[in-house]
Structure 1
Amino acid sequence: MKLYIFSFVLLLCFASCKNNKSDNYSKGTVINGEKNDTTHPGKKLMETYCYACHDATTSEENRLAPPMIAIKRRYIFKETTKDEFITNMLNWIKNPNENDAKMFGAVKRFGVMQKLPYPEDVIYKIADYIYDNEIEQPEWFEVHFNQNKGMH
Structure 2
Amino acid sequence: MTYKIQLSIVLASLMFLSCKDQIHLKGDYLAANDVTQSSNNHPGQKLMETYCYACHNPTTSINERLAPPMVAIKKHYINANTSKDEFINSMQAWIKNPTEDNAKMFGAVRRFGVMPKQLFAEDDIKLIADYMFDNDIDQPEWFEEHEKDMKKKN
**TM-score, reference length from structure 2:** 0.74
Query: As a proportion of its length, which structure holds more helix?
Result: 2
Q: Matches of 1:115 and 1:107 in 2, distance apart?
A: 14
CA distance in 1, matches of 2:150, 2:45: 27
Superposition map of 1:83-98 within 5 A: 83-98=85-100
CA contact (8 A) 1:69 1:135 kept: yes
The root-mean-square deviation of aligned C-alpha atoms, in Å, is: 2.3
CA deviations on 1:108-152 (whole Å, 9 max, x unpaired) are: 000000100000000000000000000000011011112213878
The alpha-carbon deviation at position 10 of structure 1 amounts to 3.4
Partner residue, 2:67: 65
Q: Partner residue of 1:130?
A: 132
Secondary structure of the 2:131 match is helix
Partners of 1:112 and 1:150 in 2: how far apart? 25
The partner residue of 1:115 within 113, 117, 127 is 117
Q: Which has the higher contact order (CA 8 A, sep 6+)?
A: 2
Q: Write the distance in 2 (CA, Å) between the matches of 1:38 and 1:141.
A: 23
* Closer/same/farther in 2, CA of residues 133 and 149 from structure 1, 3 Å limit: same
Within 2, Cα distance between the matches of 1:93 and 1:57?
Answer: 22
Distance 1:150 1:62, change over 3 A: same
Structure 2 portions without partners, runs of 5+? 1-7, 15-37
Q: How far apart are the structure 2 equivalents of 1:41 and 1:55?
A: 18
1:127 counterpart SS class:
helix
2:144 maps to what in 1?
142
Q: Contact 2:11/2:119 (CA < 8 Å) preserved in 1?
A: no
Asked which structure has the greater CA Rg, the reply is: 1
Identity of aligned residues (%): 59
- SS class of match (1:52): helix
Runs of 4 or more, structure 1, over 2 Å off, are 6-12, 149-152
User: Does the 8 Å CA contact 1:54/1:66 hold for their aligned counterparts?
Assistant: yes
